[in-house]
Amino acid sequence: MQKTYFIETYGCQMNVADSELVESILKREGYCATQNMHAADAIFINTCAIREHAEEKVHSRLGTFHKVKKERPEVIVGVLGCMAQNLKDELLENKPYIDIILGPDSYRSLSDVFSRKTKYNGNVVDTKLSRFEVYDDLFPSRKEGVNAWISIMRGCDKFCTFCIVPFTRGRERSRSVESIRQEASEAVANGFVEVTLLGQNVNSYRHEKRKFHHLLEEVASVSGLKRIRYISPHPQDVTDELLSVMAAYPVICNSIHLPLQAGSNRILKRMNRTYSKEHFIALADKIRAYLPGVGISTDIIVGFPGEQEADFRETLNVMDSVKFDSAFTFKYSPRPYTKAEQYSDQIPEVVKQERLQLVIDVQRKNTLLQNRKMIGKVEMILVEKDSKRAADQWAGRTDSNKWVIFDKCDAKIKDLVPVRIMDAKGISLHGELLETEEVLL
Ligand code: 5AD
Ligand code: SF4
């Protein structure tokens, strides 16, 4: 009988893409996927270390894996990804039931791991970080869908003082334009209509002499693609060339994630973010000038060490000035190895919680304000999935990355259809599907 694996993924989209790579290796090793961990021969968890909360979720999940291992000691338990990299000693010491620990640059060794495992019958640990590994020749095993995640670069050299990523994922390195283009073409051949280019610092992509905007142009020329997205850029590397390319190619979505993190220059400096509040605001204005109707989303951290009330107010002020379309908001979480963890002026949890609530409230107001501007407009929507609320409605996105709910009528998943926006509630828009002739009139 064929051996089976079960894999669960936590954290960012990069991990989703990495799990797809792991799945392709497992399939080559003769394994097939199962959704039932109690019947699987090997169970894997791909982990995230970005905040403490993310790690806690993984620890609790590992408790369940432990029970499976007690029932069936022959099952192989593997921990992959950023926590594997970061916590290998603790995992080895406190969770001896874990058989395999592989960091983000070690998935290729999964094949020998199985043979080593049977040979020595001990734990297998490989968490070496590589300066070169980009898995260029390994194409991921994707489930059918609308969007294909394509990893274009790995690692990060920015060393923001709060962030563990440069330690868990190592130095920046990029894949070749040709292999990325080929992967995009294959994704189209396999029925995907959208690709999202992924990297920890996606716009510092550089391969030989080619930069991110060159790559975008190449991917934009892949025929059959309806949409191209990318995450996550750094404001420092948003160049005029990039904005020109985005403006020139309709297939590249009119949407950009622009992580602010904080609005006070003093805190930005302590975070090592390399831009000032003034520069950030001017950049957002420039993006809107190049790309009318663009959706701008952001990340915000509250309660970074030393953040005074006045600093925090500046974050709220920048939010109100830029008016982001959406925001991911986080309480600062001290991470091992990082500079900020050592700062002595950590902020109490209650203050962090209060500030988090305030940024959430400001963003909710701004999201609604931005979404209300869309009412009456006709937007092209890529049909992506069933709406959660009603079986006869679709959910799809505008190219500015806003979710729209509308009656299915005769539209199908993967169609790009015209929808008139009728209402804005909460974070999503509600619309009516138009006949193509209505749009032409
Ligand atoms: N605490 C809280 N949020 C963090 N992020 C990264 N590191 C931390 C941390 N230590 C957030 C940043 C980043 C996003 C992916 O996660 O906002 O942009
Ligand atoms: Fe972390 Fe900063 Fe690198 Fe983003 S740019 S992964 S926040 S260190």
Taking the centre of ligand 2 as the mean of its atom positions, its distance from the CA of residue 158, in whole angstroms, is 6
- 167 touches ligand 1 (CB under 6 Å): no
For residue 416, name the pLDDT band (cuts at 50, 70, 90): very high
Q: What is the DSSP string of 232-271?
A: ---GGG--HHHHHHHHH-TTB-SEEE---B-S-HHHHHHH
381 lines ligand 1 (CB under 6 A): no
Q: Is 200 in the pocket of ligand 1 (CB under 6 A)?
A: no
pLDDT of residue 315: 98
Token pair 């670069």 is found at 153
pLDDT for position 110: 87
281 three-class SS: helix
At 355 the pLDDT is: 98
Q: Is the pLDDT of residue 322 over 60?
A: yes
* Ligand 1 near 259 CB (within 6 A): yes
Distance (Å) from CA 155 to ligand 2 centroid = 9
* Nearest by Cα to 398 from 194, 199, 260: 194
Question: Taking a C-beta distance cutoff of 8 angstroms, is the pair 327, 300 a contact?
Answer: yes
pLDDT digits (tens, 9 = 90+) for 144-200: 899 999 999 999 999 999 999 999 999 999 999 999 999 999 999 999 999 999 999
Which residue's alpha carbon is at the smallest distance from atom 5 of ligand 2?
158
Smallest CA separation from ligand 1 atom 6, residue: 163
Strand order, beta sheet including 100-102: 31-33, 3-9, 42-47, 76-81, 100-102, 124-126
For position 85, what pLDDT does the model report? Answer: 83
**Distance, CA 159 to ligand 2 centroid (Å)?**
6
Q: Are 81 and 46 in contact, with CB atoms under 8 Å apart?
A: yes
| Whether residue 9 has pLDDT greater than 80 | yes
* Closest CA to ligand 1's atom 16: 50
Mean pLDDT of 34-60: 95
Predicted confidence (pLDDT) at residue 390 exceeds the cutoff of 80: yes
Measured by CA distance, the residue closest to atom 13 of ligand 1 is 299
Specify whether the CB–CB gap between 432 and 396 falls below 8 A. no
Across 276-324, the runs of DSSP E, i.e. the strands, are: 295-302
The pLDDT tens digits for 101-140 are 999 999 988 887 776 654 444 678 888 899 999 998 888 9
pLDDT given for residue 426 in this prediction: 82
The pLDDT score that the predictor gives to residue 112 is 76
| Pocket, ligand 2, Cβ cutoff 6 A | 156, 158-160, 163, 165-166, 200-201, 234
Residue nearest to atom 17 of ligand 1 (CA): 299
Question: Of 109, 155, 101, which is closest to residue 127 (Cα–Cα)?
Answer: 101
- Give the pLDDT score at 122: 66
Which residue from 14, 153, 158 has its CB within 8 A of the most atoms of ligand 2, so it is best to mutate? Answer: 158
**pLDDT at 116 (0 to 100):** 62
CB-CB contact of 197 with 228 (8 Å):
yes
pLDDT at residue 94 greater than cutoff 60: yes
